[in-house]
Structure 1
Amino acid sequence: MKDYKSRYIVLIVLVILLVYQGYWLYSLYNKRKHEIKDEIYGVIECSDYQEMEKRASLLGHSLGASVTLDVSPNNKNEKLASFKTYIRHLHDSKIVTIEKVYKCETVRNTGVSVNSKKDSLDNPYKIIAEDTRNQLHVALDSVKMNDLRYFYTLLRKNLKKVHLDCPLCIFYYSDGRLRAKYIEGGCQAKSLSETFIYGFGDHKAYYTIVLSCFPILVLRDMTGIIICSLLLWGLIAFSLWYLRKNIHSLHALDEMKTDFTNNVSHELKTPIAVAYAANDALLNYGIAKDPDKLKKYLTISLTELKQLEKLVEEILSMSMEKRVNMQLSYVYVNIHNTVMNIVEMEKMKAKKPVSFTINVDAEEMLWTDQKHFSHILENIIDNAIKYSADKAEVSISLKRDENFIVIAISDKGIGIERKNLHSIFDKFYRVPHENLHDVKGYGLGLYYVKCMMQKLDGTIDIESEPNVGTTVKLIFERHE
């Protein structure tokens, strides 16, 4: 329940972060969209001026505008701007002039000259600059019609300079009628297109400019921010997942340590109590005078002390991975004899019917540590018996080739699910079995087996299927 709760918390946090980041990116997208639209309008205006200059040069005229500032005679605190637009013929010097006067409360400089060849967005007198453009259009459009193809070429060129190049269509309207249009092959009005209305002249004429991939322009401009945002979200998601995984692992390890403390206390207590009772009987009840009983009780004590030694070895295995200078006593061990001794011992202490099938060459020898090799076999055979249901059927076989000796120990027990196989060699880990509640253990047996097989330069392999059984293979190198 706690695990699911932590999952939901992590999921909710990630969703909240994703929603917040999405909202922030959406707000930034809208902001950049308006900024880029303003920038495109500036490019359109600049291209419009350049197109008018081209028409004027073809007609042999020059365009110009001037602004002068004077103090109003009616109000000493008010300033007026006198604005003139002119078209001058280059040959006969004939000038057509249009003059307007504006109130300019914020103008502080006098003698300012406005050059119509510059983009009006660079001009601090925006209203005056717009009227300059409009009056120039009125004077020029009446003489020669707009060159839409040239305007398109200028617009594409200027958009490319500011990295806003995009397929576009241009429609020229005047007096409510479509006068001309220029449509690029890849341009068409669709859901992703953006329309720009650019009026001029007496405001009865305007361009309708359609950019077919405007949202892509905005997203392309935001590519770096979007990538960084996604990477940041991914980093946070990974950090939360990793943190949760570590916390879960630490919690599981803490529970396993608690179970280990409880189980190992009981496991250590049992052989000590049995050996103590046997020795007490020998000392206080005259059993030492009866040779048969003496042998029986001494055998019991020896068996329990061996069991105690095995438990101590497994407990010491917790630090075995870090024990670089561990002393091993290598000798040639008869595998058949070792297996038979362990089988007899397991039969004696088993609390359920046990049958063994042994297929091991009586003469096969293995260069290894006798004590630890025996403990490895004991652990695996003991597990095969413990995790069988009513009756244990254990098979022990040996195969060899030129390089390896393989000892296979199989049972027909309850088996292990595939999802648990990768954890069975972990320290303190015990496979959960709902139908077996009385199986003793403390999660160190297979951990000890894995560590010792590594120390003995061997490998271990396990195959298991629920309700079918388990096969453990011990693989050793041959030494002649």
Structure 2
Amino acid sequence: MQLFWISNAVGLEETEFNYRINESLREVSEELEKQEALSKLRSHEQGKFLFLKVDTMQQIQEEFPDSGFQYRKVRKINKDQGIVEVEIIEGDDQSTSRKHIISDASNIDMIEELSLDLKTDGYGRARMEDLNALQDSALRKRLLNKTFLVSDIVKSLIEVDMSESIEDRIHMNDLDTMLSTALLSRGIKAKYEYCILDEGKNIRMASSTGKAEHEEANSFQIRLFPKDIIQDVAYLVVSFPRKTGYLLQANWLLLLMSMGFMVALAYTYYLALRTIIRQRNLSVIRNDFINNMTHELKTPISTISLAIEFLKDAGTADQNTTKRYIDMIGDENKRLAQQVEKVLKSAIWGTGDFQLKLESIDLNALLRDVYDKFEIKARERQAEFNFSSNSGGNIQGDRVHLSNMVFNLLDNALKYSKENPKIQLSFYSKQGDYIICVKDSGIGISSENQKKIFDKMYRVPTGNVHDVKGFGLGLSYIKIIAERHGGYVTVESHLGRGSTFEIHLPQQPT
């Protein structure tokens, strides 16, 4: 939808752009014709005397003029063998000046001679009736002669000079000025190139850049001197090589808003999709946790129920039997309490709302103690269990939580191994860290599940088979405790080949 909106907006802008370009070219074409017409008119400057206003003589003042009063007399206008001669006398009786204007007007049928004289009174003033007669007569002659001259000029405008090429008719500097003025007046500031083509599409003239090549989609053309009748056809072609970029730049605000809206929409969709996936995963984890917890709690509850039923039915059973069943109930009750305690502690670990009881701990001695206690359990599974240490170091930590971390890793190594498991517990230092390593030869973990095993309540899927006990809280607990001690946990595992867990704890200055 946004793409359609942007495309439509750019399309409208392009239509308006094309219209303004065509209007600019039309203006340039008309201006060129006007300039050529004016140029031909200027060629008749020598005949401008026919436009002299005869009635511009100074008005006669009522008062006596001073001795410097002057007026104009048109003495005569003659035509002899195609040469028009005008004699003008200016001045008074004491001083005069004469001016001769000669023009070639061989094609004008003019009155052969016009002689006008003005008579003055004793004060040097012309009589009013003489002035009126002079004006009426001169006006008629002027209008007639002006008509002849205009006809001659119009005739010259439509005359064809076959030897005049397009290069002679157009000056590139003038064309460049006209074109830039027309474009700027319509708000177009895009860079352009232009050239003049003949009817065969050959380049006759080009802009100063020398780049006359153009793409059809980004070029505009108009015929020059469209009113010519015989002369060769010429076209002005204007190309905008960066037209698309100019249009996009003209709509930058719209594009920015649209892109921002699209990014916001995509980000919202991403958040919604991520939330849905997380909710789905949490739902799967929750259901898996409930199933595991049900299995973990069902066994001790069933055992307690059976023991109670037996005691009810036994009646007069001997004391040893009764004591054995009572002890069984007590053990299963403790087991239930431990499972509930694990669930409650997981909630506390998740919020981080617990305090570490820090003390100076010899990690080598702590791991040796864990090894000794776990060896009995490993022997029951006929596991090959070894401990190695090539480092010794003390840190400030919580003894109980550090011990539980290692116990959980060893317990997982034993649970997720097949017959005759091999487990290696190691302790060493590397690059400023103390490293506790637990390596097994168990079933391994896929790369996909390795990203999730430290999430709370997550367990590697095993289908409908519940042959491994647990709530999926052990590894999340290990990660939390390691981070609270300033360290971290890594895992490297391959399906069918086993897993290696490393707890990195920073060395502390003594």
What amino acid sits opposite 1:190 in the alignment?
E
What amino acid sits opposite 1:34 in the alignment?
T
Is contact 2:37-2:157 (8 Å) kept?
no
Residue 40 (1) aligns with residue 21 (2)? yes
What amino acid sits opposite 1:235 in the alignment?
A
Q: 2:494 aligns with which of 455, 458, 465?
A: 465
Provide the residue aligned with 2:371 in structure 1: 339
Is contact 1:335-1:366 (8 Å) kept?
no
Give the match's secondary structure for 1:389.
Answer: coil
Over 3 Å counting, the alpha-carbon distance change for 1:247 and 1:307 in structure 2 is same
Hey, what's the Cα distance between the residues in 2 that align with 1:313 and 1:61?
A: 109
Hey, what's the Cα distance between the residues in 2 that align with 1:276 and 1:471?
A: 41
Q: C-alpha displacement at 1:208, in angstroms?
A: 4.0
Provide the residue aligned with 2:213 in structure 1: 188
Report the more deviating stretch, 362-371 or 215-224. Answer: 362-371
What amino acid sits opposite 1:186 in the alignment?
K
What amino acid sits opposite 2:220 in the alignment?
T
Q: C-alpha displacement at 1:398, in angstroms?
A: 1.6
Give CA deviations for 1:220-261 in whole Å, capped at 9, x if unaligned: 434443454344333322321221111111111122112212
Give CA deviations for 1:434-467 in whole Å, capped at 9, x if unaligned: 6976333332221111122233444322222222
Report % sequence identity. Answer: 20
Hey, what's the Cα distance between the residues in 2 that align with 1:180 and 1:465?
A: 73
Residues 83-94 of structure 1 aligned to structure 2 (within 5 Å): 91-92=48-49
Give CA deviations for 1:131-190 in whole Å, capped at 9, x if unaligned: xxxxx9x948968863152453125523366213312222366xxx88983224222143
Q: 1:166 aligns with which of 149, 174, 192?
A: 192
Q: C-alpha displacement at 1:474, in angstroms?
A: 2.0
Unpaired runs of 5+ in structure 2?
A: 53-153
Q: 1:153 aligns with which of 160, 176, 187?
A: 176
Is contact 2:292-2:470 (8 Å) kept?
yes
Count of paired positions: 387
Residue 251 (1) aligns with residue 243 (2)? no
Over 3 Å counting, the alpha-carbon distance change for 1:271 and 1:394 in structure 2 is farther
Q: C-alpha displacement at 1:59, in angstroms?
A: 4.9
Q: C-alpha displacement at 1:39, in angstroms?
A: 0.5
Provide the residue aligned with 2:102 in structure 1: none
Q: C-alpha displacement at 1:36, in angstroms?
A: 1.0
Residues 23-422 of structure 1 aligned to structure 2 (within 5 Å): 23-52=4-33, 54-55=35-36, 58-59=39-40, 61=42, 91-92=48-49, 139=157, 146-158=169-181, 159=183, 162-171=188-197, 181-184=204-207, 185-198=210-223, 201-202=226-227, 207-211=235-239, 213=241, 215-216=243-244, 217-271=246-300, 274=303, 286=318, 305=334, 308-309=337-338, 312-326=341-355, 328=357, 330=359, 332=361, 334-345=366-377, 347-348=379-380, 353-360=382-389, 368-400=397-429, 404-422=433-451
Give the match's secondary structure for 2:213.
Answer: coil
What amino acid sits opposite 1:337 in the alignment?
D
Q: C-alpha displacement at 1:287, in angstroms?
A: 5.5
What amino acid sits opposite 2:180 in the alignment?
K
Provide the residue aligned with 2:77 in structure 1: none
Hey, what's the Cα distance between the residues in 1 that align with 2:460 and 2:159?
A: 90
Is contact 1:416-1:470 (8 Å) kept?
yes
Is contact 1:463-1:470 (8 Å) kept?
yes
> What TM-score results when the alignment is normalised by the length of structure 1?
0.65
> What TM-score results when the alignment is normalised by the length of structure 2?
0.62
What amino acid sits opposite 2:368 in the alignment?
H
Is contact 1:342-1:378 (8 Å) kept?
yes
What amino acid sits opposite 1:384 in the alignment?
A
Q: C-alpha displacement at 1:35, in angstroms?
A: 1.1
Hey, what's the Cα distance between the residues in 1 that align with 2:383 and 2:308?
A: 30
Provide the residue aligned with 1:104 in structure 2: none
Report the more deviating stretch, 326-335 or 245-254. Answer: 326-335
Give CA deviations for 1:89-121 in whole Å, capped at 9, x if unaligned: 9934669xxxxxxxxxxxxxxxxxxxxxxxxxx
Hey, what's the Cα distance between the residues in 2 that align with 1:366 and 1:214?
A: 68
What amino acid sits opposite 2:491 in the alignment?
I
What amino acid sits opposite 1:46 in the alignment?
E
Hey, what's the Cα distance between the residues in 2 that align with 1:448 and 1:195?
A: 74
Unpaired runs of 5+ in structure 1?
A: 1-19, 63-86, 96-135
CA RMSD across the alignment = 4.4
Give the match's secondary structure for 1:334.
Answer: helix
Over 3 Å counting, the alpha-carbon distance change for 1:373 and 1:178 in structure 2 is closer
Q: C-alpha displacement at 1:470, in angstroms?
A: 0.9
